[in-house]
Amino acid sequence: MLRSSIPYARPGQVIGLFGGSFDPPHQGHVHVTLEAMKAFGLDRVWWLVSPGNPLKQRGPAPLAQRMAAAGSLMQHPRVEVTDIEALTGTRATADTLTELRRLYPGVRFVWLMGADNLVQFHKWKNWRLIMDSVPVGVLARPGDRISARMSPAARIYAKYRIDGQARHLLGRSRAPAWCFVNVPMVDVSSTDIRLRGEWNNRVLPEERPSEHNSFE
């Protein structure tokens, strides 16, 4: 479901937030979303299609193009494709979460990210605020766990890690709380699609990257 407006959520719902540039979106994003929903006991997942990512030198394709492609690809009644950051004017994940918690009192949010992002998580703006504000679900390819578990964020928050067997409790856990799950990944990435020339990576001047998470 595509939504260029603030989505509806009821107090008490557990909503996973899957942020990224989605440049372009692909079946890997869909697969990870559905696996996260099942693993962490999420009521819904919102795709947060970012206006840009500060950790990448090249900007993404225009937001409207990525939103349209994501909305066409992600067809599930419990998943919404949103441009919340463009609507709220936030870019950094910490700022987006602060605004969402203000807009949705009583809603339980879970931040979703890949194990590769956990490795560099300590470089994000106010990353500790993210960990202290919402539970974090980390989706790991088999073999990604070692580098992610040795990351600064994982070491600092080691005592708040939830065992994988209790992963379904993550959404109703009090932050800080985080959990690893192994997810067999679909062998596709946004980078490969762009390199094959299957995606128009034209960048509008007003959509140069700003700080945000990305999940290839």
The string of pLDDT tens digits covering residues 70-98 is 999 999 999 999 999 999 999 899 999 99
Enter the pTM of the model: 0.84
Retrieve residue 80's tokens: 């919404």
Lowest mean pLDDT among 43-47, 50-54, 122-126: 50-54
Number of residues assigned to the chain:
216
34: left (phi over 0), alpha (psi -120 to 50) or beta: alpha
Residues 6+ apart with CB under 8 A from 67: 2, 4, 49, 81, 83
